[in-house]
Structure 1
Amino acid sequence: MEAPLPKPSLTTFPGKQSRKSSATTPSSSSLLLVRRPIATNSRVKQDEKYRNEMYLSFITSALQEKAIGRSERFDDLVNQFNPKAASQASAQLRAWILTLSHVVSRLERVHYALIEAIVRMPWTTMDTATVKSYTIFIGMLLSARPEYLSLVLGMIAQGFTYQSCAQALDASASSGPMTRRTVYDRLHYLLQHILSLIPTLPSTLMPLLSRNFPHKRQNIASQSTYIRNLLRVCGYCPELSDKILGTIVDRAIQIDVEIQVELEELEEAEAEQDQEVFELDPFDVLIGQEGDDSDTDSDDGDGDDFSDLSSDAGGDLDLDNHGQPEATITNVRHIQDMVKKLDTILTLTFEHFDRSQSSTPKPPSPSPPTSLPPLDLPPLPPVYDSFNPLAISIQSPTPSIPSPPPPITQAPSTPLSSSPAPPSKTPALHITFNSLLAIFDRTILLTFKSRYTQFLLFWYTSLDPDFADIFLGMLIDRALINPSTPTVTRAAAASYIGSFVSRARFVDREGVRTVIRVLCDFLATHLDNIEHAGSADSAQNSVFYAVSQSLFLVFCFRWRDMQEDEDEDIVKTEGKKWMRELSVVHRVVNSSLNPLKVCSPNVAMQFARVANTVGFMYCYTVLETNKRQNARATAAPTRIFTTAAVNAELNTFFPFDPYKLPRSGPYIEGIYREWGEVAIEDDEEDEDEEDEDEDEMRDTFDEGGIPVVRKTETEEDPATQGLGESLGAMSISPVRPRNGI
């Protein structure tokens, strides 16, 4: 019987044997004579051809045998791509991959284990030639077998994570040093290649990108790494920009809300333990500005200190006091960590927007280059290196945006040195704005406890006067025009109107006056309806109170723009001319709805002060009456109604409180109006002539902050001094500048 043929070796494929072989060891001179014919191109090509035939023969037989249920050779083939089972040289792995490229049409479902092994191999850490061969193979595989697209894209999405890159580097078979930059460059290179072959790829890719997004509990490096890679995908896959941005904003708002919720819980825990709690401002704590313990409690009254109008701001907790409970210190450290994550996410997003609006869009390459040029992904985890800007060349579907009313804002008369440079009007800029506006409408607007995420839209609206028009138009539609909008959303939109117009430097005089007309018309119509019907729906009243509070707030910041004489800036005058529409404010303040009683006490008191100082109206009588009524009401049991709960929530909701995040803060500084820029200076000579209530209100706004334990005026506390500056928060009290963040 004829002996069976030997099984092909998977490790070596020697060339054909030489016809003559020497039985003795050759001398050095004979070696020189035999080297020349061995090095000929024809001999090398002949050996390579023989080797490729052996590889192809083995692969073909392995695939055929697997199809009929015999797995021995197939399992050996799979093991070639398992770094734990065998240590393969890059050249040999490359030979297997190149040979498999010729039989991709034969790779059936039964061969899934082989495809999975190839996809999961640590190819990103291998030499450039192997990476190129791998990329070509994957492209050919997906072109012939698109059913493997999810598997490959899942590998890429997971590869964008910080942990996956660490695992790839640990399993690296490369002899040279390998950086994260190189690993991520190769992943993006492969994804761009696949995108050029399969234009419908985005619909499959996005769910996988969302699934691999790091949990909010993961560290800053994990968050920033993945977000940078996602934003880089936007550059060559603009169809995903909207959804990627929405995913990032959703994560930011989750962290944003958790910070505020945990601050509230921490304050409640401290109150139960009867601890002396300072204004817990995690943003100050973040940069090491913890406050000192307070010795005494001021008798100026409860609620005299306001760091900002939002009670969600929290206060500083003294971590240096060894008497603090360990659980409290742990909670504060967790809050600090969450604040850093939020700051990092917003910084990355601002940088992405900044690059996109200042760059020239360019179309993605139709096919990958013949070699692997270095891409400009920055080293990770630092957050300030620059990398490839957004490049959008085609129109992606834009969300439906409500039609805005007549223009609300105009371009600022004088450019701000620290504001973004006016960008060229490109479709990409407007596409991104529409996407961001849609995200705001469906996510941010519905979230009361978000404090910083909404500043993404605040910054983006400063890029073009039309953007501020559209944003205000949408807010007006949600708050005042669309009756189908839930009451809570309408009231929140009204709060956004007041906060945005008050704080945005790029909303000019005419824009302010247009908004005031709209708000006053709504208030007048609401009062007319009450007079005719005798009563009003409680939900409608909630919107009324929110609009009233917004109007009061805008007046405190922008009263100069409401005068008929634009050049007049004299505080005390007789017979000053105001906008005709403002006449309804007298009617609103003295109405049975009594908005000064329902609105935020800080806003109500400051409005009364400013309105009286500039000669607009006198409100102290109403405030004094409200104060007496509130004092009597505190002794009686109270019932919680839905409307009252909504009003209480809105009283502490000021969307554009001062921006205190240190890293991303510079993006907001140049376009944000601080209270100190518009505050009316106190006249110390007239203080003795003020009644007791006015003195109390002035004390309230001079110091600012949420109700906290304070030192007396004679004591100098660095922590409490820092609270004064933070009163430039949504709070409108005149604060002297102090050393802060």
Structure 2
Amino acid sequence: MGVQLAAEQAGFVEMENVIFTDSELVHHVRDALRAALLGDTDNYNQLVGVLHHSERLAPDEVALLVTSLKAITGAVSYVDVVHHHSLLSCICGMSLWNYGPDVMDALVELMTSLAASSGKYVDLCLDMLVSNFMPPYSFLESLKEPRGIARKDQVLDRVHLALKDIADLLPLIPWRLEKIIIDRMPNIYTKEPLIVIYVENMLRLESGPMGELVGSMMITAVMDRLIDLDVEIPWEEILQDDSNKGIFEMELEDLEVSAYYAENDGDEDRLSKSLSNFKLKAKLDSGNDWRCFGKDTFSTVDKPLDRQAYRTVSALLLAPSRVRPDDCVYFPTQYGGRLTLSLSYTEINVELQLPREFLRQRLFGGNLVAEKLDSLLVLTLEHLKSCNDGGRLIQVFECLLQSFDKTVLTAYKSKFTQFVVFYVCSLDPENCGKKFASMLANIFMNDVYAERRMSAVAYLASYLSRAKFLPPSYVATMLESLVDWCSDYCKSQDGDVNPKAHRVFYSGCQVCDDLTPPLIIPRA
């Protein structure tokens, strides 16, 4: 899509040959465009040369570029898609990320006017604006610095404002915009910062003024990309956890006190007994997501403390009476986090705060696809949390349900994406939580395709066994409905044993068997 022309083929006039003043250029552009239609391209090539020169502009060159863009804006009705091919190619090849605010404003104004001038330029302008969702590769490192973040805000604010202005002028634009965004969406092999910033823009559209028109498609496309990344991760690269643990309370593997420290501290048995009632909790730097290390003994994570710090912690825990109540002791760790030891008259709390990069590395072992998935999941969950805070969760949840039904439910070996829906259910158990369970049960009992029915009941079991936010009475009601269905199915059959023919029935029985123990043993 768009107009393309190699720079070396254009024969553009260099900047030093351009001698127009600002006022002369404003009045001259229309004549240059008209003359190009008749074959006289000298002034036209000079105009294109001004736009083509974009690197290390001096202040007077910036002023000339701004004036040229504004002059073209006033003459958009004279632009011809055939005869002014090189001009359109040059304009659409300009990146807002390469310029200051003045050029950005002039370029955005030109794209808005060009889109409104003729229907033949609409897709061209939308494509150019969407291309600015992502910065050039040279900007990736600067996005970690305040200067780069400021430039990002300047660019994206203008892009989204321009999209809104064009949509206000041309009401049918959102549907054309959807296709362009989906077509330009980065694939799973794109660098992580680029795919993250692109999805960030998609979610911004979903929550913005055009959300009612394009929001559903944005959510669906994001879920599709999550699935694409999800299925690329092999099961053997995933740290297995206990399926009976609640959502967002999954523990990493238990780690014993290292012999490395025991040989320096002497009494390992005494230490273990003294610490038998404590847990070491890990907390992500960016939120309140707690993970526990160890169940009955004090644990270390790959020796995060040096010897002196470990001895100090051990001494405090072995003789807490020597420490004043409400003291709080901090120890840095080699992973960029810190260990906090806080004491009171009645208890001792040990907290290990770790950066997200450490936990991601530990879980996925440096798998680049998994790291992209992790970043997109965090971005998506934060967006859904903001939807809940803004009172829009029910509306977004409907889109998620449709996406789950069409994509996640039938995806082969989906391992993480379904937890996006689980998370939304945890934010609103009464509405979203129960509705999701009912949808899965309905698919299992009434759908015509066996594979979908078996997948639905498997997800239902996974969901109900983890969803501690649902009341046990509701889980019992769902289980009762499954048992009733299985019972009715048995009564309708002739008694033959055929696992292949009755695979849906056996799937339902398996779920009933899996869900019964959690109901008998109250969930913590």
Q: TM-score, normalised by structure 1?
A: 0.48
Distance 2:404 2:161 in 1: 32
Q: Match for 2:398 among 412, 424, 434?
A: 434
Aligned-residue offset at 1:448: 4.0
Q: Match for 1:149 among 122, 125, 130?
A: 122
Is 1:206 aligned to residue 169 of structure 2? no
Aligned-residue offset at 1:233: 1.7
Q: What is the 5 A alignment of 1:571-582?
A: none
1:277-330 residue CA offsets vs partner (Å, 9 max, x unmatched): x9799xxxxx99999xxxxxxxxxxxxxxxxxxxxxxxxxxx9xxxxxxxxxxx
Equivalent pair of 2:410/2:452 in contact (CA under 8 Å)? yes
Q: CA 1:279–1:136 in structure 2 vs 1: closer, same or farther (change >3 Å)?
A: closer
Distance 1:453 1:336 in 2: 17
Q: CA 1:65–1:126 in structure 2 vs 1: closer, same or farther (change >3 Å)?
A: same
Distance 1:159 1:111 in 2: 23
Task: Return the letter of the residue paired with 2:90.
Answer: A
Q: Match for 2:155 among 177, 180, 183?
A: 183
Aligned length: 395
Structure 2 counterpart of 1:196: 168
Structure 2 counterpart of 1:19: none
Aligned-residue offset at 1:450: 1.1
**Secondary structure of 1:258 counterpart:** coil
Q: What is the 5 A alignment of 1:312-711?
A: 336-359=367-390, 426=391, 428-462=392-426, 463-482=428-447, 484=448, 486-530=449-493, 533-535=494-496, 538-559=499-520, 677=524
**Secondary structure of 1:136 counterpart:** helix
Equivalent pair of 2:18/2:46 in contact (CA under 8 Å)? no
Q: Which runs of 5+ in 2 are unaligned?
A: 1-15, 243-251, 257-301, 303-362
Structure 2 counterpart of 1:83: 53
Distance 2:149 2:375 in 1: 28
Distance 2:184 2:129 in 1: 10
Equivalent pair of 1:160/1:229 in contact (CA under 8 Å)? yes
Q: Match for 1:255 among 202, 222, 229?
A: 229
Aligned-residue offset at 1:257: 1.6
**Secondary structure of 2:187 counterpart:** coil
Q: CA 1:521–1:439 in structure 2 vs 1: closer, same or farther (change >3 Å)?
A: same
Q: Which runs of 5+ in 1 are unaligned?
A: 1-8, 15-50, 265-277, 282-286, 292-318, 320-331, 360-425, 562-672, 678-741
**Secondary structure of 2:416 counterpart:** coil
Aligned-residue offset at 1:77: 1.5
Aligned-residue offset at 1:432: 0.6
Structure 2 counterpart of 1:126: 99
Aligned-residue offset at 1:124: 4.2
Aligned-residue offset at 1:454: 0.4
Q: What is the 5 A alignment of 1:152-163?
A: 152-163=125-136
Q: TM-score, normalised by structure 2?
A: 0.66
Distance 1:333 1:254 in 2: 17
Equivalent pair of 1:161/1:212 in contact (CA under 8 Å)? no
Distance 1:222 1:57 in 2: 41
Aligned-residue offset at 1:551: 0.7
**C-alpha RMSD of matched pairs (Å):** 3.8
Structure 1 counterpart of 2:344: none
Aligned-residue offset at 1:202: 1.8
Percent of residue pairs identical: 23
Aligned-residue offset at 1:446: 0.8
Aligned-residue offset at 1:223: 2.5
1:525-556 residue CA offsets vs partner (Å, 9 max, x unmatched): 222223xx243665552111111111111111
Structure 1 counterpart of 2:325: none
Aligned-residue offset at 1:354: 0.5
Q: Match for 2:32 among 47, 50, 62?
A: 62
Equivalent pair of 2:62/2:103 in contact (CA under 8 Å)? yes
Aligned-residue offset at 1:180: 2.8
Equivalent pair of 2:499/2:506 in contact (CA under 8 Å)? no
Distance 1:481 1:490 in 2: 8
Is 1:232 aligned to residue 200 of structure 2? no
Aligned-residue offset at 1:479: 0.7
**Secondary structure of 2:488 counterpart:** helix
Q: CA 1:333–1:354 in structure 2 vs 1: closer, same or farther (change >3 Å)?
A: closer
Is 1:244 aligned to residue 244 of structure 2? no
Equivalent pair of 2:76/2:114 in contact (CA under 8 Å)? yes
Q: Which has the higher strand share?
A: 2
Equivalent pair of 1:139/1:197 in contact (CA under 8 Å)? no
Distance 1:227 1:522 in 2: 42
Aligned-residue offset at 1:478: 1.1
Q: What is the 5 A alignment of 1:88-127?
A: 89-109=61-81, 110-127=83-100
Equivalent pair of 1:501/1:512 in contact (CA under 8 Å)? yes
Task: Return the letter of the residue paired with 2:375.
Answer: T
Distance 2:444 2:152 in 1: 48
Q: CA 1:467–1:168 in structure 2 vs 1: closer, same or farther (change >3 Å)?
A: closer
- RCO higher in structure (CA 8 A, sep ≥6): 1
Distance 1:120 1:539 in 2: 58
Aligned-residue offset at 1:93: 1.4
Task: Return the letter of the residue paired with 2:49.
Answer: N
Q: Which has the higher helix share?
A: 2
Task: Return the letter of the residue paired with 1:212.
Answer: R
Aligned-residue offset at 1:192: 2.8
Bigger-Rg structure (1/2): 1
Distance 2:501 2:219 in 1: 34
